[in-house]
Amino acid sequence: LLSQQELRESNARSYPRRIPIAIQKAEGVIITDMNGKEYIDCLAGAGTLALGHNHEVVHEAIQQVLADRIPLHTLDLTTPVKEAFVDELFASLPANFAQKAKVQFCGPTGGDAIEAALKLVKTATGNRTILSFQGGYHGSTHGTLSISGTTSPKERIHALVPDTHFLPYPYEYRCPFGIGEGGHEAISTYIENLLDDPESGIVKPAGIVVEVVQGEGGSVPAPIAWLKELRRITKERQIPLIIDEVQTGIGRTGKMFAFQHADIEPDVLVLSKAIGGSLPLSVVVYDKALDQWEPGAHIGTFRGNQLAMATGKATLSFVKEHALDAHAHDLGIYMQMQLKAIQSNSFSIGDVRGRGLMIGVEIIDWSKPANKIGTHPGNGELAKVIQQECFKRGVILEVGGRHGAVIRLLPPLILSQAQADDVLERFKEAVKAAEA
Ligand code: PMP
Protein backbone atom coordinates (compact mmCIF):
# COMPACT_ATOMS: atom_id res chain seq x y z
CA LEU A 1 0.00 0.00 0.00
CA LEU A 2 1.48 3.36 -0.98
CA SER A 3 1.79 6.03 1.70
CA GLN A 4 0.53 9.58 1.16
CA GLN A 5 4.11 10.74 0.63
CA GLU A 6 4.76 8.04 -1.98
CA LEU A 7 1.60 8.99 -3.85
CA ARG A 8 2.97 12.53 -4.08
CA GLU A 9 6.30 11.39 -5.52
CA SER A 10 7.07 11.07 -9.20
CA ASN A 11 6.24 7.92 -11.05
CA ALA A 12 9.90 7.90 -12.07
CA ARG A 13 11.13 6.81 -8.62
CA SER A 14 12.80 3.45 -9.00
CA TYR A 15 14.46 1.83 -6.00
CA PRO A 16 11.36 1.77 -3.76
CA ARG A 17 9.70 -0.54 -6.26
CA ARG A 18 12.31 -3.26 -5.84
CA ILE A 19 13.36 -2.39 -2.30
CA PRO A 20 10.05 -1.61 -0.63
CA ILE A 21 11.18 -0.27 2.72
CA ALA A 22 11.19 2.96 4.63
CA ILE A 23 14.51 3.32 6.42
CA GLN A 24 14.61 4.20 10.08
CA LYS A 25 18.39 4.27 10.44
CA ALA A 26 21.58 2.84 9.06
CA GLU A 27 25.01 2.12 10.44
CA GLY A 28 27.97 0.56 8.66
CA VAL A 29 26.62 -2.09 6.30
CA ILE A 30 23.31 -2.47 8.14
CA ILE A 31 20.08 -0.72 7.27
CA THR A 32 17.18 -0.92 9.74
CA ASP A 33 13.64 -0.44 8.48
CA MET A 34 10.73 1.13 10.33
CA ASN A 35 9.73 -2.27 11.72
CA GLY A 36 13.18 -2.86 13.15
CA LYS A 37 14.14 -5.45 10.52
CA GLU A 38 17.82 -5.35 9.58
CA TYR A 39 19.25 -5.69 6.08
CA ILE A 40 22.82 -6.06 4.87
CA ASP A 41 23.29 -3.28 2.35
CA CYS A 42 25.03 -4.59 -0.77
CA LEU A 43 23.88 -1.63 -2.83
CA ALA A 44 25.52 1.10 -0.74
CA GLY A 45 23.86 4.05 -2.42
CA ALA A 46 24.59 2.60 -5.86
CA GLY A 47 28.25 2.19 -5.00
CA THR A 48 28.60 5.51 -3.19
CA LEU A 49 29.11 4.52 0.43
CA ALA A 50 32.68 3.25 0.54
CA LEU A 51 32.69 3.48 4.33
CA GLY A 52 29.11 2.32 4.75
CA HIS A 53 26.47 4.39 6.51
CA ASN A 54 27.20 7.03 9.11
CA HIS A 55 30.87 6.27 9.53
CA GLU A 56 32.50 7.97 12.49
CA VAL A 57 35.13 9.80 10.38
CA VAL A 58 32.40 11.13 8.10
CA HIS A 59 30.46 12.46 11.08
CA GLU A 60 33.58 14.01 12.59
CA ALA A 61 34.40 15.74 9.30
CA ILE A 62 30.94 17.27 9.13
CA GLN A 63 31.07 18.39 12.74
CA GLN A 64 34.46 20.03 12.21
CA VAL A 65 33.21 22.07 9.24
CA LEU A 66 30.26 23.25 11.32
CA ALA A 67 32.43 24.04 14.35
CA ASP A 68 34.85 26.05 12.19
CA ARG A 69 32.02 28.08 10.68
CA ILE A 70 33.16 27.20 7.15
CA PRO A 71 30.62 28.66 4.71
CA LEU A 72 28.40 25.83 3.52
CA HIS A 73 27.96 27.44 0.16
CA THR A 74 30.88 29.10 -1.64
CA LEU A 75 30.30 28.85 -5.42
CA ASP A 76 33.81 27.85 -6.53
CA LEU A 77 35.68 30.04 -4.06
CA THR A 78 38.42 28.51 -1.95
CA THR A 79 38.37 27.53 1.72
CA PRO A 80 40.82 25.53 3.83
CA VAL A 81 38.44 22.58 3.51
CA LYS A 82 38.66 22.70 -0.28
CA GLU A 83 42.43 23.01 -0.17
CA ALA A 84 42.72 19.97 2.09
CA PHE A 85 40.43 17.97 -0.19
CA VAL A 86 42.44 18.82 -3.30
CA ASP A 87 45.69 17.93 -1.51
CA GLU A 88 44.28 14.56 -0.49
CA LEU A 89 42.86 13.90 -3.95
CA PHE A 90 46.16 14.67 -5.69
CA ALA A 91 48.07 12.57 -3.15
CA SER A 92 45.76 9.66 -4.05
CA LEU A 93 46.38 9.88 -7.80
CA PRO A 94 49.29 8.04 -9.42
CA ALA A 95 52.23 10.46 -9.06
CA ASN A 96 52.84 10.85 -12.78
CA PHE A 97 49.23 11.78 -13.46
CA ALA A 98 49.04 14.07 -10.42
CA GLN A 99 51.99 16.07 -11.69
CA LYS A 100 50.27 17.05 -14.88
CA ALA A 101 46.69 17.12 -13.62
CA LYS A 102 44.18 19.85 -12.96
CA VAL A 103 40.91 19.44 -11.12
CA GLN A 104 37.57 20.96 -11.91
CA PHE A 105 34.73 20.91 -9.45
CA CYS A 106 31.42 20.17 -11.12
CA GLY A 107 27.79 20.08 -10.08
CA PRO A 108 26.98 17.48 -7.47
CA THR A 109 26.32 14.42 -9.66
CA GLY A 110 28.32 12.02 -11.75
CA GLY A 111 26.33 13.12 -14.77
CA ASP A 112 27.40 16.73 -14.22
CA ALA A 113 31.05 15.74 -14.27
CA ILE A 114 30.61 13.67 -17.42
CA GLU A 115 28.98 16.67 -19.10
CA ALA A 116 31.99 18.76 -18.11
CA ALA A 117 34.39 16.15 -19.45
CA LEU A 118 32.60 16.06 -22.83
CA LYS A 119 32.68 19.84 -23.14
CA LEU A 120 36.32 19.89 -22.07
CA VAL A 121 37.55 17.56 -24.80
CA LYS A 122 35.35 19.18 -27.46
CA THR A 123 36.81 22.57 -26.56
CA ALA A 124 40.39 21.31 -26.46
CA THR A 125 40.31 19.32 -29.70
CA GLY A 126 37.86 21.38 -31.73
CA ASN A 127 36.24 18.05 -32.69
CA ARG A 128 32.65 17.06 -32.01
CA THR A 129 32.21 13.31 -32.12
CA ILE A 130 32.23 11.38 -28.87
CA LEU A 131 32.84 7.65 -28.92
CA SER A 132 31.60 5.47 -26.12
CA PHE A 133 30.75 1.82 -25.56
CA GLN A 134 27.75 -0.43 -25.89
CA GLY A 135 26.41 -1.23 -22.46
CA GLY A 136 28.05 1.83 -20.90
CA TYR A 137 26.21 4.11 -18.51
CA HIS A 138 27.21 7.71 -17.87
CA GLY A 139 24.12 9.48 -16.52
CA SER A 140 20.58 10.49 -17.32
CA THR A 141 20.90 14.05 -18.64
CA HIS A 142 20.52 14.56 -22.39
CA GLY A 143 24.29 14.63 -22.98
CA THR A 144 25.18 11.71 -20.76
CA LEU A 145 22.23 9.65 -21.95
CA SER A 146 23.36 10.27 -25.51
CA ILE A 147 26.67 8.57 -24.86
CA SER A 148 25.20 5.79 -22.71
CA GLY A 149 24.87 2.48 -24.47
CA THR A 150 21.71 1.64 -22.55
CA THR A 151 18.95 2.28 -25.04
CA SER A 152 15.72 1.64 -23.10
CA PRO A 153 15.68 4.99 -21.22
CA LYS A 154 16.12 6.79 -24.55
CA GLU A 155 13.15 5.31 -26.34
CA ARG A 156 10.78 8.16 -25.61
CA ILE A 157 13.38 10.94 -25.37
CA HIS A 158 13.96 12.15 -28.86
CA ALA A 159 16.55 14.60 -30.18
CA LEU A 160 19.42 13.54 -27.98
CA VAL A 161 22.87 15.04 -28.59
CA PRO A 162 24.06 13.94 -32.04
CA ASP A 163 27.64 13.05 -32.96
CA THR A 164 27.92 10.06 -30.69
CA HIS A 165 29.03 6.66 -31.85
CA PHE A 166 29.09 3.36 -29.99
CA LEU A 167 31.92 0.87 -29.99
CA PRO A 168 31.70 -2.78 -28.87
CA TYR A 169 32.81 -3.40 -25.29
CA PRO A 170 34.75 -6.56 -24.42
CA TYR A 171 31.88 -8.13 -22.50
CA GLU A 172 33.61 -11.48 -22.45
CA TYR A 173 30.62 -13.61 -21.48
CA ARG A 174 28.62 -12.46 -24.47
CA CYS A 175 31.30 -11.16 -26.80
CA PRO A 176 30.21 -11.58 -30.43
CA PHE A 177 33.85 -11.20 -31.42
CA GLY A 178 34.66 -14.41 -29.56
CA ILE A 179 35.90 -15.01 -26.04
CA GLY A 180 39.37 -14.71 -24.54
CA GLU A 181 42.31 -12.89 -26.02
CA GLY A 182 41.12 -13.36 -29.60
CA GLY A 183 37.84 -11.63 -28.77
CA HIS A 184 39.26 -8.49 -27.29
CA GLU A 185 42.02 -8.28 -29.88
CA ALA A 186 39.31 -8.36 -32.56
CA ILE A 187 37.56 -5.44 -30.85
CA SER A 188 40.79 -3.42 -30.78
CA THR A 189 41.34 -4.10 -34.47
CA TYR A 190 37.74 -3.14 -35.21
CA ILE A 191 38.20 0.17 -33.36
CA GLU A 192 41.50 0.90 -35.11
CA ASN A 193 39.93 0.17 -38.48
CA LEU A 194 37.06 2.55 -37.74
CA LEU A 195 39.40 5.30 -36.65
CA ASP A 196 41.59 4.88 -39.70
CA ASP A 197 38.79 4.47 -42.23
CA PRO A 198 38.22 7.81 -43.98
CA GLU A 199 34.63 6.75 -44.69
CA SER A 200 33.70 5.89 -41.09
CA GLY A 201 32.81 9.46 -40.16
CA ILE A 202 34.66 9.17 -36.86
CA VAL A 203 38.23 9.74 -37.94
CA LYS A 204 38.63 12.72 -35.64
CA PRO A 205 36.66 12.17 -32.45
CA ALA A 206 36.82 14.65 -29.59
CA GLY A 207 37.26 11.81 -27.12
CA ILE A 208 36.52 8.23 -26.13
CA VAL A 209 34.63 7.58 -22.89
CA VAL A 210 35.05 4.25 -21.15
CA GLU A 211 34.29 2.52 -17.87
CA VAL A 212 37.09 0.19 -16.81
CA VAL A 213 34.42 -2.01 -15.27
CA GLN A 214 30.97 -1.34 -16.67
CA GLY A 215 28.70 -0.77 -13.68
CA GLU A 216 25.06 -0.39 -14.62
CA GLY A 217 25.88 -2.42 -17.73
CA GLY A 218 26.16 -5.47 -15.48
CA SER A 219 29.49 -5.33 -13.55
CA VAL A 220 31.50 -6.19 -16.64
CA PRO A 221 35.28 -5.85 -16.21
CA ALA A 222 37.25 -5.03 -19.34
CA PRO A 223 40.28 -7.29 -19.82
CA ILE A 224 43.53 -5.65 -18.71
CA ALA A 225 45.27 -6.31 -22.04
CA TRP A 226 42.40 -4.66 -23.92
CA LEU A 227 42.58 -1.56 -21.72
CA LYS A 228 46.28 -1.25 -22.52
CA GLU A 229 45.43 -1.55 -26.20
CA LEU A 230 42.72 1.11 -25.95
CA ARG A 231 45.25 3.42 -24.31
CA ARG A 232 47.79 2.71 -27.06
CA ILE A 233 45.23 3.28 -29.82
CA THR A 234 44.02 6.58 -28.33
CA LYS A 235 47.53 7.82 -27.53
CA GLU A 236 48.83 7.10 -31.02
CA ARG A 237 45.96 9.05 -32.54
CA GLN A 238 45.98 11.75 -29.85
CA ILE A 239 42.38 11.08 -28.89
CA PRO A 240 41.64 12.10 -25.28
CA LEU A 241 40.68 9.06 -23.24
CA ILE A 242 38.00 9.86 -20.68
CA ILE A 243 37.83 7.24 -17.95
CA ASP A 244 34.54 7.28 -16.08
CA GLU A 245 35.34 6.15 -12.54
CA VAL A 246 32.14 7.50 -11.05
CA GLN A 247 31.34 4.00 -9.78
CA THR A 248 34.73 2.28 -9.78
CA GLY A 249 36.80 5.00 -8.11
CA ILE A 250 38.15 5.10 -4.54
CA GLY A 251 39.15 1.52 -3.92
CA ARG A 252 36.01 -0.29 -5.07
CA THR A 253 37.72 -2.52 -7.64
CA GLY A 254 40.71 -3.37 -5.46
CA LYS A 255 42.86 -0.38 -6.45
CA MET A 256 42.29 3.26 -5.64
CA PHE A 257 41.34 3.80 -9.29
CA ALA A 258 40.33 0.98 -11.61
CA PHE A 259 42.62 2.17 -14.43
CA GLN A 260 45.58 1.31 -12.20
CA HIS A 261 44.87 -2.39 -12.78
CA ALA A 262 46.02 -1.88 -16.36
CA ASP A 263 48.86 0.44 -15.43
CA ILE A 264 47.50 3.10 -17.75
CA GLU A 265 46.57 6.73 -17.24
CA PRO A 266 43.54 8.62 -18.43
CA ASP A 267 43.63 12.02 -20.07
CA VAL A 268 40.44 12.82 -18.23
CA LEU A 269 39.28 11.11 -15.04
CA VAL A 270 35.69 11.51 -13.89
CA LEU A 271 34.85 10.95 -10.23
CA SER A 272 31.69 11.19 -8.16
CA LYS A 273 29.81 8.84 -5.79
CA ALA A 274 32.45 7.70 -3.23
CA ILE A 275 34.63 10.79 -3.72
CA GLY A 276 32.01 12.79 -1.79
CA GLY A 277 32.24 10.48 1.23
CA SER A 278 28.40 10.04 1.40
CA LEU A 279 27.53 13.56 0.21
CA PRO A 280 27.04 14.87 -3.35
CA LEU A 281 30.27 15.87 -5.09
CA SER A 282 31.83 15.36 -8.48
CA VAL A 283 35.12 16.34 -10.08
CA VAL A 284 36.93 16.00 -13.35
CA VAL A 285 40.69 15.54 -13.11
CA TYR A 286 42.51 16.05 -16.37
CA ASP A 287 45.78 16.58 -18.14
CA LYS A 288 46.45 20.30 -18.04
CA ALA A 289 47.27 20.28 -21.75
CA LEU A 290 43.50 20.00 -22.22
CA ASP A 291 42.77 23.03 -20.07
CA GLN A 292 41.93 25.34 -22.93
CA TRP A 293 38.81 26.80 -21.42
CA GLU A 294 38.25 30.52 -21.06
CA PRO A 295 37.46 31.53 -17.47
CA GLY A 296 33.79 30.84 -16.87
CA ALA A 297 33.53 28.44 -19.83
CA HIS A 298 31.94 25.80 -17.64
CA ILE A 299 30.06 27.05 -14.63
CA GLY A 300 27.37 25.99 -12.18
CA THR A 301 26.10 27.24 -8.82
CA PHE A 302 26.77 24.17 -6.71
CA ARG A 303 30.46 23.56 -7.14
CA GLY A 304 31.44 24.24 -3.60
CA ASN A 305 29.89 21.68 -1.35
CA GLN A 306 32.22 22.12 1.60
CA LEU A 307 30.61 19.37 3.65
CA ALA A 308 31.14 16.92 0.79
CA MET A 309 34.75 18.01 0.36
CA ALA A 310 35.34 17.41 4.07
CA THR A 311 33.63 14.01 4.07
CA GLY A 312 35.33 13.17 0.76
CA LYS A 313 38.74 13.95 2.21
CA ALA A 314 37.99 11.91 5.33
CA THR A 315 36.89 8.98 3.18
CA LEU A 316 39.95 9.12 0.93
CA SER A 317 42.27 9.19 3.98
CA PHE A 318 40.43 6.34 5.66
CA VAL A 319 40.48 4.16 2.53
CA LYS A 320 44.25 4.69 2.25
CA GLU A 321 45.09 4.34 5.94
CA HIS A 322 43.11 1.13 6.27
CA ALA A 323 44.08 -0.21 2.84
CA LEU A 324 40.44 -0.75 1.97
CA ASP A 325 41.44 -1.10 -1.69
CA ALA A 326 43.48 -4.20 -0.83
CA HIS A 327 40.64 -5.43 1.39
CA ALA A 328 38.18 -4.99 -1.52
CA HIS A 329 40.56 -6.93 -3.74
CA ASP A 330 40.92 -9.87 -1.34
CA LEU A 331 37.30 -10.02 -0.27
CA GLY A 332 36.20 -9.66 -3.90
CA ILE A 333 38.25 -12.70 -4.91
CA TYR A 334 36.86 -14.67 -1.97
CA MET A 335 33.27 -13.72 -2.74
CA GLN A 336 33.63 -14.56 -6.42
CA MET A 337 35.09 -17.93 -5.48
CA GLN A 338 32.16 -18.68 -3.18
CA LEU A 339 29.66 -17.46 -5.78
CA LYS A 340 31.25 -19.78 -8.34
CA ALA A 341 30.70 -22.63 -5.90
CA ILE A 342 27.03 -21.61 -5.70
CA GLN A 343 27.00 -21.45 -9.51
CA SER A 344 28.20 -25.03 -9.76
CA ASN A 345 25.05 -26.18 -7.93
CA SER A 346 22.70 -23.95 -9.86
CA PHE A 347 21.27 -24.11 -13.37
CA SER A 348 20.36 -20.42 -13.57
CA ILE A 349 23.73 -18.77 -12.92
CA GLY A 350 25.55 -18.30 -16.21
CA ASP A 351 28.47 -16.16 -15.13
CA VAL A 352 30.17 -14.81 -12.01
CA ARG A 353 32.54 -11.92 -12.60
CA GLY A 354 33.81 -8.65 -11.24
CA ARG A 355 36.74 -6.79 -9.87
CA GLY A 356 37.09 -6.15 -6.16
CA LEU A 357 33.75 -5.43 -4.53
CA MET A 358 32.01 -4.78 -7.83
CA ILE A 359 30.57 -8.18 -8.56
CA GLY A 360 28.05 -9.42 -11.13
CA VAL A 361 26.14 -12.70 -11.21
CA GLU A 362 24.44 -13.18 -14.56
CA ILE A 363 21.18 -15.11 -14.49
CA ILE A 364 20.32 -17.09 -17.60
CA ASP A 365 17.35 -18.89 -19.06
CA TRP A 366 18.75 -22.37 -19.22
CA SER A 367 15.64 -23.72 -20.96
CA LYS A 368 16.28 -21.61 -24.05
CA PRO A 369 18.98 -22.65 -26.52
CA ALA A 370 22.49 -21.27 -26.23
CA ASN A 371 23.93 -19.10 -29.01
CA LYS A 372 27.02 -19.95 -31.04
CA ILE A 373 29.44 -19.03 -28.26
CA GLY A 374 27.51 -21.20 -25.83
CA THR A 375 25.66 -18.58 -23.79
CA HIS A 376 21.99 -18.81 -22.92
CA PRO A 377 19.74 -15.72 -22.99
CA GLY A 378 19.68 -13.52 -19.88
CA ASN A 379 16.75 -14.05 -17.52
CA GLY A 380 15.74 -10.72 -15.99
CA GLU A 381 12.55 -12.18 -14.52
CA LEU A 382 14.40 -14.79 -12.51
CA ALA A 383 17.06 -12.23 -11.48
CA LYS A 384 14.25 -10.14 -9.98
CA VAL A 385 12.87 -13.16 -8.13
CA ILE A 386 16.34 -13.86 -6.68
CA GLN A 387 16.61 -10.18 -5.71
CA GLN A 388 13.27 -10.44 -3.90
CA GLU A 389 14.28 -13.70 -2.19
CA CYS A 390 17.46 -11.96 -1.00
CA PHE A 391 15.41 -9.03 0.21
CA LYS A 392 13.16 -11.37 2.23
CA ARG A 393 16.32 -12.78 3.81
CA GLY A 394 17.62 -9.33 4.69
CA VAL A 395 20.07 -8.64 1.87
CA ILE A 396 19.67 -5.58 -0.33
CA LEU A 397 21.22 -5.83 -3.76
CA GLU A 398 20.45 -4.53 -7.22
CA VAL A 399 19.88 -5.96 -10.67
CA GLY A 400 21.26 -4.41 -13.84
CA GLY A 401 22.85 -5.21 -17.17
CA ARG A 402 21.16 -6.40 -20.35
CA HIS A 403 17.54 -7.44 -19.67
CA GLY A 404 18.18 -6.67 -15.98
CA ALA A 405 19.61 -10.16 -15.81
CA VAL A 406 22.68 -9.39 -13.72
CA ILE A 407 22.57 -9.39 -9.94
CA ARG A 408 24.99 -6.72 -8.78
CA LEU A 409 26.81 -6.69 -5.47
CA LEU A 410 28.31 -3.34 -4.50
CA PRO A 411 28.74 -3.55 -0.72
CA PRO A 412 30.57 -0.92 1.31
CA LEU A 413 34.33 -1.52 1.29
CA ILE A 414 34.21 -2.04 5.06
CA LEU A 415 32.24 -5.28 4.64
CA SER A 416 33.87 -7.88 6.87
CA GLN A 417 34.59 -11.49 5.98
CA ALA A 418 31.87 -12.64 8.42
CA GLN A 419 29.33 -10.28 6.87
CA ALA A 420 30.35 -11.47 3.40
CA ASP A 421 29.76 -15.07 4.50
CA ASP A 422 26.36 -14.05 5.80
CA VAL A 423 25.49 -12.45 2.42
CA LEU A 424 26.73 -15.52 0.54
CA GLU A 425 24.74 -17.93 2.70
CA ARG A 426 21.55 -15.93 2.26
CA PHE A 427 22.23 -15.55 -1.46
CA LYS A 428 22.65 -19.31 -1.80
CA GLU A 429 19.29 -19.87 -0.08
CA ALA A 430 17.66 -17.20 -2.25
CA VAL A 431 18.89 -18.85 -5.48
CA LYS A 432 17.65 -22.22 -4.24
CA ALA A 433 14.22 -20.74 -3.42
CA ALA A 434 13.98 -18.93 -6.75
CA GLU A 435 14.94 -22.03 -8.75
CA ALA A 436 12.48 -24.26 -6.90
N1 PMP B 1 28.89 7.15 -14.65
C2 PMP B 1 28.80 5.95 -14.07
C3 PMP B 1 29.84 4.92 -14.38
C4 PMP B 1 27.77 5.67 -13.17
O5 PMP B 1 27.69 4.47 -12.59
C6 PMP B 1 26.82 6.68 -12.89
C7 PMP B 1 25.68 6.44 -11.92
N8 PMP B 1 25.27 5.16 -11.71
C9 PMP B 1 26.95 7.91 -13.53
C10 PMP B 1 28.00 8.13 -14.39
C11 PMP B 1 25.96 9.02 -13.29
O12 PMP B 1 26.06 9.50 -12.00
P13 PMP B 1 24.83 10.30 -11.35
O14 PMP B 1 23.71 9.32 -11.18
O15 PMP B 1 25.35 10.83 -10.07
O16 PMP B 1 24.49 11.38 -12.31
Whichever domain contains 45, its CATH number is 3.90.1150.10
Residues 239, 370 share a domain: no
In this structure, which amino acid lies at residue 373?
Answer: I
User: Whose CA is closest to atom 13 on ligand 1?
Assistant: 110
On whether both 297 and 330 belong to a single domain, the answer is: no
Q: What is the pLDDT of residue 123?
A: 97
- pLDDT tens sequence across 59-113: 999 999 999 999 999 999 999 999 999 999 999 999 999 999 999 999 899 999 9
What is the mean pLDDT of the segment spanning 25-52? 97
- Using the predicted structure, report yes or no on whether residue 239 has a pLDDT greater than 70: yes
Q: Return the closest-CA partner of residue 278 out of 60, 119, 76, 86.
A: 60
Domain boundary among 321, 336, 369: 321
Query: Residue 340 pLDDT more than 70?
Result: yes
* Cβ neighbours around 417 below 10 Å, total: 12
Ligand 1 probe mutation, 137, 148, 213, 279, most atoms within 8 A of CB: 137
Provide the pLDDT for residue 371: 87
Q: How many domains does the chain have?
A: 2
Q: Output the CA 264–ligand 1 centroid distance in Å.
A: 22
pLDDT tens for 244-281 read 999 999 999 999 999 999 999 999 999 999 999 999 99
CA 140–ligand 1 middle distance (angstroms): 8
**pTM attached to this predicted model:** 0.97
8 A C-beta contact, residue 353 and residue 173? yes
pLDDT of residue 1: 62
Are residue 227 and residue 370 in the same domain, yes or no? Answer: no
Average the pLDDT over each of 14-23, 91-100, 125-134, 353-362 and give the range with the smallest value.
Answer: 14-23
ipTM above 0.95, yes or no: yes
Same domain membership, residue 348 and residue 298: no
| 272-325: pLDDT as tens digits | 999 999 999 999 999 999 999 999 999 999 998 999 999 999 999 999 999 999
Number of CB atoms found within 10 A of residue 377's CB: 18
Region 136-147: what's the mean pLDDT? 95
Res. 226: pLDDT tops 90: yes
- Considering the domain architecture, whether residues 308 and 362 belong to the same structural domain is answered as no
pLDDT at 196 over 70: yes
HSE (side-chain half, CA atoms, 13 Å) at 56: 2
Give residue 68 CA to ligand 1 midpoint distance, Å: 32
Judge whether 149 and 229 are in contact, CB under 8 Å.
Answer: no
Average pLDDT over residues 356-377: 93
Distance (Å) from CA 137 to ligand 1 centroid = 7
- Do 382 and 315 have their domain in common? no
Dist. CA 419 → ligand 1 center (Å): 27
What values do phi and psi take at 207, rounded to 5? 180, 165
For position 293, which CATH number holds?
A: 3.40.640.10
CA atoms of 380 and 387, how far apart (whole Å): 10
423 Cα–ligand 1 center, Å? 25
pLDDT of 15 higher than 90: no
Share of the chain above pLDDT 90, in %: 86
Chosen domain end from 321, 343, 375: 321
Instruction: Please name which of 305, 282, 291, 265 lies closest in space to residue 138, comparing C-alpha atoms.
Output: 282
pLDDT, mean over the chain: 95
Burial of residue 425 (number of CB atoms within 10 Å: 0-12, 13-18, 19+): middle
Phi-psi region of 434 (alpha: psi -120 to 50; beta: other; left: phi over 0): alpha
The set of protein residues with a Cβ atom below 6 angstroms from ligand 1 is 46, 109-111, 114, 137-139, 211, 215-216, 244, 246-247, 272
Q: Nearest to residue 187, comparing CAs of 168, 212, 171? A: 168
Q: Which residue lies with its CA nearest to atom 10 of ligand 1? A: 138
Last residue of a domain, one of 265, 288, 321: 321
**Residue 153 pLDDT > 90, yes or no?**
no
Asked whether residue 14 falls in the same domain as residue 133, the answer is no
Residues 359 and 213 in one domain: no
Place 181 in a pLDDT band, splitting at 50, 70 and 90: confident
What is the residue range of 306's domain?
A: 58-321
Look at the alpha carbons of 336, 338, 339, 344 in this order and tell me if their dihedral is positive or negative.
Answer: positive
